[in-house]
Structure 1
């Protein structure tokens, strides 16, 4: 099989491989990310973002339904490969872009892995709405051109008056 290049910082891709392995070999690969990496021909792989399972375990949903409903793959891409995906039985390996940790990789799968397809995960359709509330608008107040001028006068006069009043009250209290 020819090699495939994973682009640096790749995101939103789902690769599906059919496994031509015995049940025991496929089950051993299920929880072993080092074996999965070796099968893809790379030195390391984040096993959190890979899945190895029996297609029959998907029951009536099927692999096409799992990719569409479980992984958000665009339905048009599923329709293109529906017959291929429906014909699969046995074990498959699903590899998500995050398994490569944002690094560029050259995949060279072993002959027991057959690349079925690479699909794009779709994001939710959320329409962009214009913000029309006044609170959402930029600040429109009138900016001050120069800082406010401080009040004129001496604060010392006020302090002198307060000190004199306190002294008189203290003197009156002592004499009383």
Structure 2
């Protein structure tokens, strides 16, 4: 069985394997991270980024549609392997790049795994548009060099006025008492 290289920090790759296992073995592998790693010939993978399922569960969508619509694989890549993907009728295992946690690995799948293809997840085709509105331009104002200084001298006058008012109130209270 040929080995497959996983590049360090690999991203956006989707590997599809056909499983030549019984229903019971495939179901057991679906929920067992250790069994999935062993099947790929590695010590450990993150099973949150793998899928094991029966192709028939996809109904009319099919595996090619699932890869295209569910995973954003480029339709041109799928077209190349369309006949292989359409011929699959048992269980498959899909392994995403994140399952390898950015490590450089050498995959050595067991004979029960047949590599169907490795596809690239594509991002949305959104063209970059230049923003020409004035509000989209960088700020061109002059920044303040130093903070403004607070007003000086107003606090002392206020204290004198308050003290005189209190003294007048005390004198009036003493005279009336």
State the TM-score, normalizing by the size of structure 1.
0.85
Q: Tell me how far apart the structure 2 counterparts of residues 24 and 154 of structure 1 sit (CA, whole Å).
A: 87
Normalised by the size of structure 2, how large is the TM-score? 0.85
Q: Which runs of 5+ in 1 are unaligned?
A: none
1:105 paired to 2:105: yes
SS in 2 for 1:73: coil
- Cα RMSD of the aligned pairs, angstroms, is 2.3
Structure 1, residues 20-76: CA drift from partner, whole Å, max 9, x if none? Answer: 223332222222121111110001112222112222222222211111111111111
Residue equivalent to 1:82: 82
Distance 1:103 1:151 in 2: 62
Q: Structure 2: any 5+ residue segments left out of the alignment?
A: none
The number of residue pairs the alignment matches comes to 176
| C-alpha spacing 1:170/1:35, structure 2 compared with 1 (3 Å) | same
Aligned to 2:13: 13
Q: Report what 1:117 is aligned to.
A: 117
Quickly say closer, same or farther: Cα 1:171–1:137, change in 2 above 3 A: farther
Cα deviation per residue 1:65-88 (whole Å; 9 max; x = unaligned)? Answer: 111111111111101111111122
Cα distance in 2 for residues equivalent to 1:135 and 1:175: 69
Structure 1 stretch 120-129 or stretch 88-97: which is displaced more? 120-129
> Secondary structure at the residue paired with 1:43?
coil
- CA-to-partner distance for each residue in 1:96-117, whole Å, 9 max, x for gaps? 1121122222111111211111
Specify the SS of the correspondent of 1:171. Answer: helix
Structure 2 partner of 1:164: 164
